[in-house]
Amino acid sequence: MQNIDAVVAGAGIWGCTVARRLAESGRRVLVVERREAIGGNVRCETDPETGIEIHLYGSHIFHTHIPEVWDFVNRFVKFNGYQHKVLARYKGKTYFLPLGLALVNKFFGTELSPGEVEAFMKDETHSAAVFDAFFRGYTSKQWGRPPEEIDPSIIKRVPVRSNYDVNYFNDYNQGIPLSGYNSLFERLLDHPSITVRTGVELRFEDGVFFAGGDSLGNVPVYYSGPLDVLFGYRFGHLPWRSLRFETEWLDMRDYQGTSVVNYTEAEVPYTRIHEFKHYHPENAAAMATAKTVIMREYPSDWRPGDEPYYPIDNESSRALLGRYREEAAKYTNLVVGGRLGGYKYYDMDRSIEAALALSL
């Protein structure tokens, strides 16, 4: 392939960051994306009637405490300062997550002080009650395992806040891009040395990488898709959990009063409901409209052809991943990264941090 110094396969957060760094270092970059649009699972669309930005693959909130990452993304977009709060519904009542004074005092009907909550939650009766209410059913839905297989000791590893801080993330830099998530990816790839081709998948055949029908020769390839896909599942399928979404347009100003509500009971088939207008409180027109958009999120078993979301970490998957990594290491022009390529769940800031740390 002529006039190309590097190929980036996958236009998600890792791939777009790598492409930008390559272009700014003087390389001519081809970005190929198998979907018809860039942005990966952070891709959004704006509802033309209400102006509400809909997160197509579930809610994404940018949050970080890494200065280099925050400085980098702010070169391309500015953030609205949204602070993420998560509520949980259990037996008809609503509680603030994460685990702290707000949840404990409401759930147990107590009035604990900050200095009392840690000792209170060390009591096995109290920790078991919280685990059963807020973690057992939710976790069994998320990972497709019977409640009996969920380890109650999980609650001992969950940080207990000794205050009423209900900000879900501890990161002091948070928000949603004021101009929308799609603008972040568009601006990352807006460089004269970057060419973008959507609807094109990276292929590997007989020791040669192809972008569509074009052989890449020895051009460096930065790949952020699943390794088992790249190598034709030669060692078997890496296991994932998947998700499906049901989106509904409602004739009401506000459905749940916040962006995300978790449904923790195993009997409720979905894990959470997203209401997207709450991510942009600065968008007065969208907030004032008498309509809203919600999305129910259902975890599901993954099958070939489904979207992979969460890697399943167990002994057999680690062994299989090791075989694919050994295979990838044979090709000196191949660099693998991102959530899918790394077979590891990354927050957006960690994907950017990894991309910024690469030696290009």
Active site residues: 157, 161, 241, 272, 297, 345, 347
Which positions ≥6 away from 323 have C-beta within 8 Å?
235
Give the separation between CA 200 and CA 9, rounded to whole angstroms. 9
User: 33 is written with which tokens?
Assistant: 């994306």
Give the separation between CA 293 and CA 181, rounded to whole angstroms. 17
Strands 260-263 and 310-311, by their bridges, are unpaired
**What stretches of the chain show up as alpha helix (H) in DSSP?**
13-24, 67-73, 101-108, 117-122, 124-131, 137-143, 181-188, 227-230, 284-288, 315-328, 338-342, 348-357
Residue with tokens 């380890």: 151
Output the CA torsion sign for 165, 170, 174, 176: negative
Q: Using alpha carbons, list the distances in angstroms from residue 256 to 86, 87, 143, 274.
A: 11, 10, 25, 9
On the 0-12 / 13-18 / 19+ scale of CB atoms within 10 A, 277 is buried
User: 101 is written with which tokens?
Assistant: 């004074």
User: Angle CA(304)–CA(307)–CA(308) in degrees, nearest 5?
Assistant: 85
Strands 221-223 and 6-9, by their bridges, are parallel
3-state helix, strand, coil in the chain (%, to 5): 30, 25, 45
